[in-house]
């Protein structure tokens, strides 16, 4: 399978704990995006990388959120001190130079109890 | 504030029907309008529309953008149960993507 993969697919955590998600993009894609999707809403942009550089962050990405793409390949999204409002589906996508035609991974569903 | 409004929010049809999904927007400056189909988890790309009045087609799906009246439509003809999904309209400008809430289409056998 050469698509975008995400791990884990589901994560249940207690409020206050830290969680980390991983995204492996399509290998030749140099752009990688993170989105968050809550019930009834479309995916909301969080941040994106061009190779290893984080070029843009949404105002949705609070100080508790950090994303990295250290070698320009896979990326991690960490949420510190999780809150119940962080419960959502976290989607990763990758693309070539142009941002349209992104390829999405299956998502990580986070539930904060 | 920029807005992307999709209508209807949900739609139930029978196989063989033709549907039209609407997307209107109040976005002052954007590069393209994108349509995605979302089944279960991740959105899949359908169309990118940049120019007004030029219809794009892919099989039973077609879409067009009207930059003067600030809307786009997505048509699906001869619907099938596999068309059941949420259809997302997205405005894109320099890596800023504004998503609508989506239209949930259910196609019954």
pLDDT per residue of chain A (113 residues) written in tens, 0 to 9: 578 999 999 999 999 999 999 999 999 899 899 999 887 666 777 888 989 998 877 777 889 999 999 988 999 999 999 999 999 999 999 988 655 567 888 899 999 99
Tell me which residue in A45, A103, A105 faces B97 most closely, judged by beta carbons.
A45
Mutate to test the interface with A, among B94, B97, B99, B102 (most CBs of A within 10 A): B97
Contact B43, B99 (CB under 8 A): no
Identify whether A8 is preceded by a cis peptide bond (ω within 30 of 0).
yes
Strand order in the sheet with A65-68: A5-7, A19-24, A75-79, A65-68
User: B90 and A44: CB-CB below 8 Å?
Assistant: no
Q: Does B50 touch chain A (CB under 8 A)?
A: no
In angstroms, what is the C-alpha Rg of chain A?
13
Are B48 and B33 in contact by the 8 Å Cβ rule? The answer is: yes
């Amino acid at each position: 399978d050469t698509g975008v993969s995400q791990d884990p697919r589901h994560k249940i955590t207690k409020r206050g704990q830290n969680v980390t998600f991983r995204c492996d993009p399509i290998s030749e894609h140099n752009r990688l995006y993170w989105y968050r999707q809550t019930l009834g809403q479309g995916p909301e942009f969080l941040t994106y990388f061009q190779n290893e550089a984080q070029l843009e962050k949404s105002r949705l990405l609070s100080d508790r959120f950090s994303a990295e793409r250290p070698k320009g390949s896979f990326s991690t999204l960490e949420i510190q001190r999780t809150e119940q409002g962080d419960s959502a589906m976290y989607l990763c996508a990758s693309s070539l130079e142009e941002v349209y035609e992104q390829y999405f991974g299956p998502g990580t569903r986070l539930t904060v109890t | 504030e920029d807005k992307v409004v999709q209508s209807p929010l949900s739609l139930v049809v029978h196989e063989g029907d033709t549907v039209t999904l609407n997307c209107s927007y109040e976005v002052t400056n954007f590069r393209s309008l994108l349509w995605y189909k979302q089944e279960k988890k991740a959105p899949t790309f359908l169309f990118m529309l940049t120019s007004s009045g030029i219809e794009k087609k892919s099989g039973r799906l077609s879409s067009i953008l009207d930059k003067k009246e600030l809307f786009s439509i997505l048509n699906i003809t001869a619907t099938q149960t596999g068309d059941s999904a949420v259809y997302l309209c997205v405005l894109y400008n320099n890596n800023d993507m504004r998503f609508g809430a989506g239209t949930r289409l259910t196609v019954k056998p």
